[in-house]
Amino acid sequence: MSAQLTVGDVVAERTVHLTRESLVRYAGASGDFNPIHYRDDVAAAVGLPGVLAHGMLTMGLAVGTIESWLGDTGRILEYGVRFTKPVVVDPETGADVTVVAKAGAVDEGTARIDLTVSCDGVNVLVKAQVRVRVD
Amino acid sequence: MPVNPELVGREFPPTAPYLVGREKVREFARAVFAESPQHFDPAAAQALGYADVVAPPTFAMVIQDLTLQQLLAEPDSGIELSRVLHAEQRFRYTRPIVAGDELTARLSVTAIRAMGGNAMVTSDAEITDAEGAHVVTATSILLVGEGEK
């Protein structure tokens, strides 16, 4: 982790490719078995454009982007997001979620990292902010 | 049935202790594409000062989910899972969750705000370890649709 952190610095970025298998894996790991995350018929019946990624999967993979920069996830003091748009995961082509992590504010000993999280150019989370210890 | 405003301030019992397993931490880390060795390798976690592998930050949701099940199980809540959307999520950490932790969570509903026919329900899960020390507070805001009258 760089000691010289300046507002606007991109500290990390990545694109994660999600498939239906990713969703089944997250369902099992988290215990969230809501069928809108693995059944097309149920998703369609409740009016969704397709099977969606769990919001908590998107939130989890988003913060994972800054782990190697941080060096220790124990430096994370707070993490919050608003879920705005769904991530539709196509059965054949999946979905690509792109995360860009920028320093949004730098204070004495702490920093706010702002995550821009998008799929097909649309932001799927807003106010995705991580407050971290940087001392 | 609209969301019951009397849920705010209601007392809920602590959830049954959840023992965090090493393989569960690894399984969860793989599922959220968390790649740091501290989630997989006990030696890497110990080098950072932890007793065992460290759970990724959003693992706290697994514990908080036990409290949301309590909320949904209240017979007078007016909340049906099929009408619930997860609108917002926050975590405030004292320390990360580590394999071997025995965690309990206590639910409190802190706000219910009407929005047209819908309601925004804010609930906290205060997650503590076997010694009763604070680990993380998880806050969910759920958007609950009005449903059939």
Domains of chain A, by residue range, sit at 10-17+54-133
Most A CBs within 10 A among B23, B33, B38, hence the mutation to make, goes to B33
Asked if B86 has any chain A CB less than 8 Å from its own CB, the reply is: yes
Residues of chain A with pLDDT under 50: none
Whole-number pLDDT of residue A33:
93
B145 is written with which tokens? 């649709």
Contact between A28 and B28 using a beta-carbon 8 Å cutoff: no
**A30, A72, A81 member nearest B38 (Cβ):** A72
ipTM above 0.90, yes or no: yes
Angle ∠(A100,A59,B62) on CA atoms, nearest 5: 155
Higher per-residue confidence, A63 vs B84: A63
Interval B39-57 mean pLDDT: 98
Whole-number pLDDT of residue A2:
53
CA distance A86 to chain B (A): 11
CATH code, residues A10-17+54-133: 3.10.129.10
User: Is a pLDDT exceeding 50 seen at residue B39?
Assistant: yes
Q: Record the pTM.
A: 0.96
Whole-number pLDDT of residue B104:
98
Say how many C-beta atoms besides its own lie within 10 A of residue A100's C-beta.
17
Mean pLDDT estimate for chain A:
96
Strands (E), chain B: 18-19, 84-93, 102-115, 118-128, 134-144
Whole-number pLDDT of residue A3:
60
Domains of chain B, by residue range, sit at 5-20+60-144
Query: Side chain identity at B55, as an amino acid letter?
Result: A
Give the bridge partners for A111, in sequence order: A106, A132
The alpha carbon torsion through B79, B71, A79, A86 (nearest 10 deg) reads -30
For residue A36, which of A53, A19, A12 has the smallest C-alpha distance? A53
Whole-number pLDDT of residue B149:
46
User: Is a pLDDT exceeding 90 seen at residue B82?
Assistant: no
Whole-number pLDDT of residue B145:
87
Q: Using one digit for the tens of pLDDT, what is the confidence trace for A60-79?
A: 999 999 999 999 999 999 99
- Name the 3-class secondary structure at A49: coil
Whole-number pLDDT of residue B2:
85
In CATH terms, the fold of domain B5-20+60-144 is Thiol Ester Dehydrase; Chain A (3.10.129)
Asked if B18 has any chain A CB less than 8 Å from its own CB, the reply is: no
Mean pLDDT estimate for chain B:
95
